[in-house]
Amino acid sequence: MGGRSRAAAQLLAGQGFSGVVNLQGGIKAWNGAKATGPVEMGMGFFRGNESSEEILPLAYGMEEGLRSLYESLAQGSKDPAVSGLFSRLAGLEEAHKHKLHRLYSTLVPEAPDGEAFEEGVVSRAMEGGFTTEEFLERNRSALEGPSEVFSLAMMIEAQALDLYMRVAQKSTHEGTRKVLHELAEDEKAHLSTLGRMLETKT
């Protein structure tokens, strides 16, 4: 708020970011949408003492949960633009799954190949800690146009980033914390990709 937010906005604008807004009155003046849900959302899927080798299949399962949701929404949409967007988002999650499997293979020398690895993964929730049912119940009505789809996709990635950071704080293993921070960086990259896609609508 105040001078710090103005300076931050000027810095971002100077770095080429478009659409930078400095809210007059600071965050206390904000009366728009707010984050909802309990702060422990998604934490129930993690014990806190997982090894690096255990945390990656959990993350992989969440990626698959989101990929599956996007694929289902792509098939169910009657709007070709929305359907194509969901298919592209599903492809991004599929690519991230492959990255997670490669990372797992560096930690586990005798790791199974991708197909066998996926068969052993149980997807209990989608990325960010949402169950598919929770997500659709809250957001189905907001999935009508590309801009809304982008906004929801960014919300999911932001939730995933936050969840991985919270799990890292809870983790008792240094190696696991390192992996979780790497996963969080991946989510930051996904947010940047979605931001560019939203700006260009491609």
The DSSP code sequence of 20-55 is: ----TT-GGG--S----S-TTTTGGG--S---HHHH
Residues belonging to the chain: 202
* CA atoms of 148 and 9, how far apart (whole Å): 25
Summarize the confidence of residues 113-140 as an average pLDDT: 81
Q: C-alpha distances in angstroms, 6 versus 13, 20, 200? A: 11, 10, 26
Mean pLDDT of 151-157: 85
pLDDT score recorded for residue 115: 87
Residues 71, 132, single domain; the answer is yes
Cβ atoms 60, 112 nearer than 8 A:
no
Distance (Å, rounded) from C-alpha 106 to C-alpha 56? Answer: 11
Domain that holds residue 116: 46-200
Q: What is the pLDDT of residue 142?
A: 63
- Asked if residue 9 belongs to a domain, the reply is yes
Residues 146 and 174 in one domain: yes
Q: What distances in angstroms separate CA 165 from CA 10, 157, 162, 196, one per listed residue?
A: 28, 12, 5, 24
pLDDT tens digits, 71-109 = 988 988 888 988 999 999 999 999 999 999 999 999 988
Nearest to 46 by CA among 135, 114, 112, 124: 124
Tell me what pLDDT residue 56 has. 93
Count of CA atoms in the C-beta half-sphere (13 A) of 10: 6
Q: Are residues 110 and 158 in the same domain?
A: yes
Between these two residues, 159 and 94, which has the higher pLDDT value? 94
List the single range of 9-13, 17-21, 88-92, 134-138 with lowest mean pLDDT.
134-138
How high does pLDDT run on average in the chain? 84
Q: How many domains does the chain have?
A: 2
Residues 54 and 145 in one domain: yes
- What token pair was written down for 6? 């103005």
- Is the same domain home to 98 and 1? no
Instruction: Return d(Cα 169, Cα 4) in angstroms, integer.
Output: 27
